[in-house]
Structure formats: structure tokens, C-alpha cells
Chain A
């Protein structure tokens, strides 16, 4: 196809419309640049309250970039440029007056590689609380966070041990505990199970289903089956090479069941049936 692939913007017939009262974050991006390279364009991605929104798509389609734009993590890359808006609690977090550091304190992030700090398990979980000058009962909050991450029973007798002494799956759950300790309302998870074995993956997936009762989750996954198991809503991104570059864009977004069983776009149909990845 020589024509520019159609992205799902608000005028697109396949745009996923969500009740604004149920939207905790609304990403309306026009363009994302890395220097001169147009990485992602024209995507409207609402994140719904207390649901898991999965981002799927082939490699290079920009799903991690979009996820990281939701808490302004990409700002750490000097050549990054975001055109558009991300509305969070009624404010555009890309507005000039907004401090990205404060944004990140309200939004938790879990990364692909488990990355606990080189400190005790307790200190890892308490890190965010101390950062935000939490004055209440620290022990109680740490226990609550570790319980939310289904890690408490395994580590309650060794809270002073290093976070790095845990197994991979436990480390990732520690990172989740760390992220939820400050009780943010949104959790961003960038392929959190990629570095884990199948059993640890299952545990983290079950954890995600429990977490959505209290948090709104945006999940990037390269594993389609994981999206079907875990995500309520799925956003499918793909790469547009028609203009000579490789630019990601949102192809289709909707209820997971509908995206996988009755995809509207041809590209979606091809992807979910495994014709390309």
C-alpha cells in the first residue's frame, strides 16, 4: 500500500470511545520524535479506571515509547519530543508548567528487567514512601505493599536481606511492591514478564488481576496470549513504512475479546492470527 496507513484518531470510525468518567488517563498524541526520527504518530489511547489496558504489536511499533510517555520517562532522553497531550486528572502532563518529577510520583512503573535497589527489601519498598516524606506507620505500609504484591509470606522473616538476593520472579514482585507502596492510581508495566520463567510469569499475571481492583494498569506485552489472559482492553499498534521511515501508530483498540475474535482492521486480523510479529 502506498497510502499512509490510517491511524485511529477521534474521527476514525474504529476509535475506541470510553466514558470520560471512567478514563483516568487520556493520551492523545500527534507525533513523537527522537531527534528527526518520527517514532509514533496519531494515536488516541484512553486508560480506563480499574482495568488493564494491554498494548500489543510487532517490535518497533512504539508501544513502549507510548507507555513511557504516560509518565514522562522519555524526557530523560534528550532528543525526545512529544507533540500532543496526555490528560491526567484533568491536567495535561506535557504542559510547560508541569514538573515531570511530580508526575512520576503519582504514576508507578515496573520495568522489563527486575531492578530492585541495592538495599534491603524493606528499604526498597519504603523508598517511595520516604521520597514522598511519608509520616505514618512505615512498617504497616511496607507490609501492605508486600501483601499486595503477593510477596509478604515469602520475605516477612528476611526484610533486612538485600533485594538482590531474591529470585527473578520475587525481584519483579518486589519491584511491584515498591511501585504500589505509595498507592499511585496508575501502574505502567513495560513487559514485566519478559525476563521471567513461566511459573513466575503466571504469578505476576495473577497478581495483575488482583491489582486492578485498586489500580488502573497499562501493560505492554509482546505476548499475545498474555494480553488475552490479562487485559480488559487491548490497543494494537503497528509500524507504518509507507513513507520511507518506520513510524508506529495505533491501528485498533477495543475490548480484548473483540480485538482478538472480531478485529475490525485487516492488519489486526493478520497480527492476531500470527501472520506477522
Chain B
């Protein structure tokens, strides 16, 4: 009797063994593969605009790249040859001015927000304003500096352009630098305090050096963004077809890559249009270089 019962039980057990073999086209396996496929498709779709723009710029602007193009003055109407030299210098100088203003102020602000008094009303307000200003319309930065500086100086200038860029760069620098400094582990700072550091020494010897890679990333991304700005330069630096003329030149209208692209692409001359393509390619390459630098330098050394 016991034997029969156990046999019956055994048969039932075998019949309900789990079905372990996977199946390509059935049930959960299929759904998973479909979703993975859709994700791949969307990723490719999302990268299409980026790669097509890059491809188009290389195709159209690559032909004209040469030492002459990168260094010569822009051509006048009906002229042949010429280059975008002043625009490259102008962009570099104005981004440089913007960086010289926004980086020190931004890092100091980040130190205040991350280390010195993170929870006061002032800190909360400053942080909120910085976040709001990251979305500030760039043309308004230009209008603001126009009213504040261009009118007072009675001239468009590289200074005004640089300051407008600084206004746009500052929120990014502050917020990314603050995050980078907050990443420094509290226990490292405790160790520094334990060794008898004043707060300034903790910040200078431990927090900043440890957080520098993240700060550099933020700064370089802000710089890359500023290099491509056009609207704020419209009302502040305007444009010029000449190289910057020493220190006085900084108080005069200054050329820039973005405005050159804007102006030349609207002209009916093929020479100018070709140069606009080349300038676009150069601008994209500059931004690419900064982004790569940001990633490389942003890697933690230790």
C-alpha cells in the first residue's frame, strides 16, 4: 500500500517539473528582446542629429581649412580668399575675459555654499538664484550688459562681450563646483581638522585639491558653452573685420566666430558662405576639444 501511494506521488512530481528551456519567440523572452531593440533604435535615432551635423560640417567646411583660413582677415564683398583669423582670436579673448571673471567668483561662491555656511538663508537664496539663472535667456544677458556697459562706454567692446559671457557662465561654474566640493568625503575633512587645520587650511589643503577634477569639469563645460554663444554678443561686441588691436582694441567692437557665422551665412557671396561653414566646423571642434579635456581632466587622479 505504501509503495502505491509513493509511486503516485512520484508520477505527479515528475509531471510538474519546471519547464526550464528558454524559448526565443515566446512570452517574457520575446518582450525583453523587443524592448532592448526599441532602446537601441531610439539611441541611434537620438545620435543621428549629432552625427549628421558633424558630417555636414566636415563635408562643407573641411575643404577650406588651412593655415591661411585660420589666420587671415575676413574678405570684403567680391573678394576671394581671406580667413576667419580675427574671429578665432575674438572668441578666444572674450571667452577668456568671461572665464577670468566667472571662474574665481564661481569657485569662491561654491566654497561658501559647500563648506562655509551651507544652510543660511543667504546660501539657500544664492543656490536658488544660480539654478534659475542656468536657464537665463542668453539674449537677455546681452541686453543687460548693453544697458549697463555699452551705453556707458558709448561703444561696443570685447569687455562687454566678455562680461555678458561671464553672466552666462557663472551659474554653471557655481553649481558644478559646489557639487564637486560636496563630493569630498566628510571623513577626509574630519581628518584634516583632527590634525589641527583651520577651516581655511582644510579647504585649501584638502577640500579643493581633492575636488579639483570635478571643478575643472564644470569650468570647461561652462567655457565650451560660452564659446558657442551668439545672442549675447550681438548687443555687446557687435562685430569687426579686424584683429583686436592691443589693449585699446578691447574697448572696440570685436569679431567672434558665432557672429561671423551669423553674418557671413546671410551674405550672397559664395566665398563668405564657404567661410561660414569653415567657421562652424572650427567652432564645433573647439567645443569638442573642451569637452574631451573636461572628461580627461575630470577623472579622479587618486
Contacts and interface: CB of A to CB of B under 8 A. Distances in A.
Interface residues of B, number: 20
B190 A118 contact: no
In this complex, the interface size class of chain A, counting residues with CB under 8 Å from chain B, is: 20 to 34
Main secondary structure of the interface of B (DSSP, over half): helix
A71 interface: yes
A223 interface: no
Q: Is the interface of A mostly helix, strand, loop or mixed?
A: helix
Task: Count chain A CB atoms within 10 A of each CB in B188, B191, B209, B210 and give the residue with the most.
Answer: B191
A119 B205 CA distance: 10
Given A101-B197, A131-B196, A131-B197, A119 B302 contact: yes
Interface string A86-130: 000000000000000111111011010101111100000001100
B201 interface: yes
B194 A131 contact: no
Contacts, number: 67
B97 to A, nearest CB: 33
A173 to B, nearest CB: 14
Given A131-B201, A162-B302, A118 B210 contact: yes
A71 B210 contact: no
Contact of B195 (A113, A118, A131): A131
A5 interface: no
Contact of B191 (A71, A106, A111, A162): A111
B193 A105 contact: no
A76 interface: yes
A116 B191 CA distance: 8
A118 B188 contact: yes
B302 A104 contact: no
A41 interface: no
B196 A164 contact: no
A186 interface: no
Interface of A: 71, 73, 76, 101-106, 108-109, 111, 113, 115-119, 127-128, 131-132, 162-165, 175, 178-179, 182
28 contacts: A71-B194, A101-B196, A101-B197, A104-B193, A104-B195, A105-B195, A106-B196, A109-B194, A111-B190, A111-B191, A115-B191, A117-B191, A117-B210, A118-B188, A118-B209, A118-B300, A118-B302, A127-B195, A128-B195, A128-B196, A131-B197, A131-B201, A131-B205, A132-B196, A162-B302, A163-B302, A178-B195, A182-B195
